[in-house]
Structure 1
Amino acid sequence: MLVAALALLAASAPVLAIDLAIEITPDEPYASDVLKVRVMVGNAGTAPVHDLRLELTYPTGLQTTSFANISDGGVCTGTSCVSGNTLSWDLGTLAAGATRTVHLPPTVASGVSEDTVIQFSLEAFSGATFLNNTSQSVRVRNTPRLAVFIDPAADPLPHGQAQHYAISFANQTTQASTNSELRVSLPADTTLVYASDGGVQVGDEVIWNLEIVQAGQADRRHFSLLPGATWESGELMTIETVQFSGTIDNQAADAIARTATRIESAPDLSFHLSFGPDPARPGTLMVGRLTVANQGLDTASGVTVELPYPRFLNTTSFASISDDGSCSGTSCVTGNIVRWELGNLQPGEGRSVFLPPTTVSSIPNGRPLLVQARTRADNRAAVWHRQTLIFGQDRPLTLEVEADRKPARPGEPLRFELSYGNAGSAAATDTALVFPVPAGTTVIDFSAGGSVQGDALVWETGLLQAGQTGRHWVRVEVDPVLADGELIRIDQARFSGQLDFISRTAWGRTQVRVEQEPALEVALNPGMLPIRPGSVVPIEVSVTNRSGETLDGLRLEMPYPAAFGTTSFANITDDGVCSGTSCLGGNVLAWDLGSLPAGQGRSVAFQGVVGSGLASGRLPTLNVRAIAQGQGDAWSRRTLLTDSQDRLSVAVVAGQDPVASGNDVEYRLSFGNPSQVATTDA
């Protein structure tokens, strides 16, 4: 929930225009939910505000919050924040046209009853001078209901650019919602650029007619807005109402969400996060990747990344978090803030950090995994990104999107693979795969059956049997004008279809950093596809030094996939190890390889045994990062198609590895039919 306030303070000149907003997610929490509270302040005036202080009344209905989990040095009277305290942030000077966001992740107390209102009150001061105030509240709801969430793509939004939004909605009840609608109120002086899935503008609203939303069903819609000329840097553009409504058991039901975007000059830092798979499922391994890059003209110092650790994730040890990321305490739990201190980023340099948490085993249908994070640096505007994933026990369709190289070079081809599957027990009909062509690229070619529809490629994949998987690809050219540090973003790829007359959708996202001369290149090679329960899968990882000098401190890191059972170190080459005495899902498998001369490469390998519980149609992924001292990192990702029915198999082996430039390479392809029936038209 969000509310904004604007105060204009004028003497003769200059003018101070202090904009405030409180954003609280979720809007209607359950008892024991973790709230994502963001407090935003903007200076839309013509003069800086000095000695800026924000004071937030810590409300009743919340558990105690320690200072370690409050951003930007926020403190309360006492040793932690409890009901009735004043939480203060001393923020120094806020320049004209600038904004600032602080945050905290308080937890709703476990005994809070239905319809309890939790109210946050905020005041802003310049020294002892009062500037503005606002307040916002949320209402506790402990019974299953409709739910809706909205995620802006850019925060801050560069002045004059369009904002893209994703709306996630779910029916958390046990009955269908009929006459269902999704409505978004548009801010003044904005133009609707795009609305997905038949959304139409009616007056100052965008409306989607959803008709029937079945019990446990979740989906997503997208739209884009362009702010008009009256919007100034330092203002906060708010979406006051996102409403998901319907009729359940002859009773009206609805859910509300709100959000705000800081309007500011283009930030020097670019930032993107991706957690998957999406939709989320209980008891599964997630891989979260957060990428920051410096698009400025000088060194960014003191670069940090902060991730409030979401609810519904199991405890994660520091040993499984990359780049010395840590929380207060000895591990990361719900309500903590994961922090990475990354030091300096040179102009055009980027870095990705990661963690591989596991979702808890029991989560009610339709509950959200709310992921939001920020990056900041000394004397740089902070940049936020967030993602909402909806949980469900029955999420049969699957989708993974991967790029063949990260980072990518301007002017060179970049290939995306889209792997999809049906992990359900029934066939999926009318399936379709949609890949929005990312900004900053031009399509070169794509796999058979695809067609260009507007700004997207679409494959009508039709009937997909239970357990069946498939793959399509698209090759694009990275625009030659893209600068080092820019990000190519895939946020809206989707695979949809009908199962038992219910619409189902899976989503895929990834990001690729642009770099003119990446020093490292890394590749993953699974020795067999598809994989099957009980099969032994050899995995090779190759890394190459493409720079003109020796690279020191070379390290490979791979979140160990949960699809494989425990692997002993004896099955890992080159002294690769995990924390503990063997590797299992949620660990990080690491190789410390020392120095790598210019132009040379190195390969390591391990063997994994596929677990017996892996269902056909699921899409486990392999992710590996290569990093060396003083260099940006490189990534590779491969999706493992699954097939428990042991049908066809194929393997390819290079005759020479490595091979000298200009020499021929001979490849040997082995294929077979291990099933009990003949294959035709092979």
Structure 2
Amino acid sequence: MLTIRNNSGVAQTGAVAISRLPHEVWNVSGSINVEGNGTCPGVDCGAGEPVSWALGTLEPGEVRQLGLSYLIVRDVADGSLIAQSASVQFDGGVATASSDVLVESAPLQLGLTPLPDPVRIGDMLDYRVSYGNTTGNDVTDGRLRARIPADTTLFWASNDGQQVGDWVEWLIEALPDGGSGSRQYIVQVDGAARLITADATLESDASEKTALAQAVSSVQKTVAVNISLEVGPDPVRPLGRVTQVLTVRNNSGVAQTGAVAISRLPHEVWNVNGSIRVEGNGTCPGVDCGAGEPVSWALGTLEPGEVRQLGLSYLIVRDVADGSLIAQSASVQFDGGVATASSDVLVESAPLQLGLTPLPDPVRIGDMLDYRVSYGNTTGNDVTDGRLRARIPADTTLFWASNDGQQVGDWVEWLIEALPDGGSGSRQYIVQVDGAARLITADATLESDASEKTALAQAVSSVQETVAVNISLEVGPDPVRPLGRVTQVLTVRNNSGVAQTGAVAISRLPHEVWNVNGSIRVEGNGTCPGVDCGAG
């Protein structure tokens, strides 16, 4: 709740209140509720965006109250603080306020996905209830409950689910730590309510943990245009690639105009070169697409019966908890209305960790390109038969490999014969850039036959024949501890013999930044889009 008060004895003009949504906001239909005619820069409000209220003139002593609410994403670390900030700008100055909210996580994970959405009266509405256990202990007394929404009738429930009043209930008597599963139930839509709301709970008395989930579906008597969302693979590993296929269909007998399809990238997207691939002329608000941002396709007019298929894919970050659910949502807006679709993807982690870092980036033809391969073991057991392989990219020649690495075809290989649980290490190799390809792609794998585990990593570097201005980035300490301070030093150099104009240096703050007063320090007159700098 924002409260704006004119404490002066004269009218204050040009008042605009602004509250920036935290990056932890869950970008899903029905998550963000704005009161009092607040607006966002785009069609929908999203994580990290400012919500603004044009208040105009405030009379002496006048008080205005404004409100907004939102759901936060699932993967916020226990004990994190979510920074909240607000300001009011007026012709006479600016006033600000801030507050932090503490996150206490529920290590039981729960997701609820309805299909189709929107739905028509008389249709079957299919709910998928996905769950996971990240408590650190096995759960043997779980009780899963899912609501039968108002204006619907239960048609069927999987796994011998029983109707108890307005709920479907299942006993979950064997859910090991890191385990996951799903249940399904189908209802028939009877009434003409505009929205159908369902929720679910997963409880364990022994662990004193509860997980909650909610889903809202819209009801339309006729759906001129609909959208479906296919997502895979499911489950997916950390650092794995998720692919979305959006299908937009005009079901009506007349042309539908002004169609725009939108899919919001999850916050678990890995913001690295080559991670996000968009097909079909989709665009993002900035130069590059990033985690939490909407990807939009301007479709224009859809002829009767016309079908359009759109696609995008992305890599997810390493540190998503095993058993987590990544929410996916898409919509199509057209002059006659809006249709939405959603889906969840389950994360099953590969306990072998792997990273691949190229330096420098960009690189020039003839330069040496230095790869650092970092690895770790979180399998719960020692690894004594590890095999680490890193690709020698096309248009490059191997120059050197550390630790007696051997070239085998297009790969450099190392045996990792002593990697204890919790242990880590790194290897290094250097290649010379021979060809004029615009992008150099390398990948690496770490395999253990005994533990049946594999980790994957990829890195993409750009090639420039001439670099008038370059930038280098030094970061330390490496490694860093949780709650430790990371320092970046950016060095920008004009290598040419003439002045280079219009230079702007940009460094994107990671999503792991702790949004707390005094956490972020910027030198050299650096600025952020909002009043304060924040994660992402």
> 5+ unaligned residues in a row in structure 2: which ranges?
1-21, 56-63, 85-100, 353-378, 380-407, 412-432, 457-536
Q: Deviations over 1:495-526 (max 9, x none)?
A: xxxxxxxxxxxxxxxxxxxxxxxxxxxxxxxx
Deviation for aligned residue 1:169: 0.8
**118, 123, 134: which is aligned to 1:156?**
118
Name the TM-score, length of structure 2 as normaliser.
0.52
Alignment match, 1:235: 194
Deviation for aligned residue 1:198: 1.7
* Residue pairs, 1:216-615, within 5 angstroms: 216-228=178-190, 231-232=191-192, 234-239=193-198, 241-247=199-205, 250-315=206-271, 320-379=277-336, 381-394=337-350, 580-581=438-439
SS in 2 for 1:33: coil
Deviation for aligned residue 1:153: 0.4
SS in 2 for 1:158: coil
> 5+ unaligned residues in a row in structure 1: which ranges?
1-30, 42-52, 59-64, 89-102, 119-138, 397-424, 426-532, 537-567, 571-576, 586-609, 621-682
* Residue pairs, 1:107-122, within 5 angstroms: none
Go from structure 1 to structure 2 and tell me whether the alpha carbon gap of 1:190 and 1:388 turns closer, same or farther (over 3 Å shift).
Answer: same
Q: Deviations over 1:257-281 (max 9, x none)?
A: 1222222113122311122111121
Q: Deviations over 1:438-462 (max 9, x none)?
A: xxxxxxxxxxxxxxxxxxxxxxxxx
Deviation for aligned residue 1:359: 0.9
Name the TM-score, length of structure 1 as normaliser.
0.42
Go from structure 1 to structure 2 and tell me whether the alpha carbon gap of 1:159 and 1:144 turns closer, same or farther (over 3 Å shift).
Answer: closer
Q: Deviations over 1:608-650 (max 9, x none)?
A: xx978699999x9xxxxxxxxxxxxxxxxxxxxxxxxxxxxxx
Separation of aligned partners in 1, 2:75 and 2:142: 32
Go from structure 1 to structure 2 and tell me whether the alpha carbon gap of 1:314 and 1:614 turns closer, same or farther (over 3 Å shift).
Answer: farther
Separation of aligned partners in 1, 2:259 and 2:238: 33
**35, 47, 53: which is aligned to 1:55?**
35
Separation of aligned partners in 1, 2:351 and 2:250: 37
Give the AA of the match of 1:246. Answer: S
Deviation for aligned residue 1:306: 1.0
Separation of aligned partners in 2, 1:179 and 1:109: 24
Separation of aligned partners in 2, 1:117 and 1:212: 38
Deviation for aligned residue 1:582: 5.3
- The answer as to whether partners of 1:279 and 1:395 remain within 8 angstroms in 2 is no
- The answer as to whether partners of 1:107 and 1:335 remain within 8 angstroms in 2 is no
RMSD: 4.6
SS in 2 for 1:167: strand
- The answer as to whether partners of 1:296 and 1:347 remain within 8 angstroms in 2 is yes
Q: Deviations over 1:172-212 (max 9, x none)?
A: 21111121111112234432111112212123221111112
SS in 2 for 1:213: coil
Give the AA of the match of 1:202. Answer: V
**Percent of aligned pairs sharing the same letter:** 22
Separation of aligned partners in 2, 1:350 and 1:314: 31
Give the AA of the match of 2:209. Answer: A
SS in 1 for 2:280: helix
Alignment match, 1:178: 140
- Does 1:208 pair with 2:170? yes
Separation of aligned partners in 1, 2:310 and 2:148: 35
Deviation for aligned residue 1:85: 8.5
Separation of aligned partners in 1, 2:453 and 2:247: 29
Go from structure 1 to structure 2 and tell me whether the alpha carbon gap of 1:194 and 1:206 turns closer, same or farther (over 3 Å shift).
Answer: same
Separation of aligned partners in 1, 2:218 and 2:447: 46
Give the AA of the match of 2:438. Answer: G
Q: Deviations over 1:328-384 (max 9, x none)?
A: 2111222211111122222222111111211112222222211111112122x3111
- The answer as to whether partners of 2:262 and 2:297 remain within 8 angstroms in 1 is yes
Go from structure 1 to structure 2 and tell me whether the alpha carbon gap of 1:343 and 1:177 turns closer, same or farther (over 3 Å shift).
Answer: same
Q: Deviations over 1:120-172 (max 9, x none)?
A: xxxxxxxxxxxxxxxxxxx9643451121111102221111121111111112
Go from structure 1 to structure 2 and tell me whether the alpha carbon gap of 1:115 and 1:104 turns closer, same or farther (over 3 Å shift).
Answer: closer
- The answer as to whether partners of 1:317 and 1:332 remain within 8 angstroms in 2 is no
- The answer as to whether partners of 2:278 and 2:312 remain within 8 angstroms in 1 is yes
SS in 2 for 1:306: strand
Separation of aligned partners in 2, 1:317 and 1:187: 42
SS in 2 for 1:389: strand
- Does 1:165 pair with 2:23? no
Deviation for aligned residue 1:313: 0.8
Q: Which has the higher strand share?
A: 1
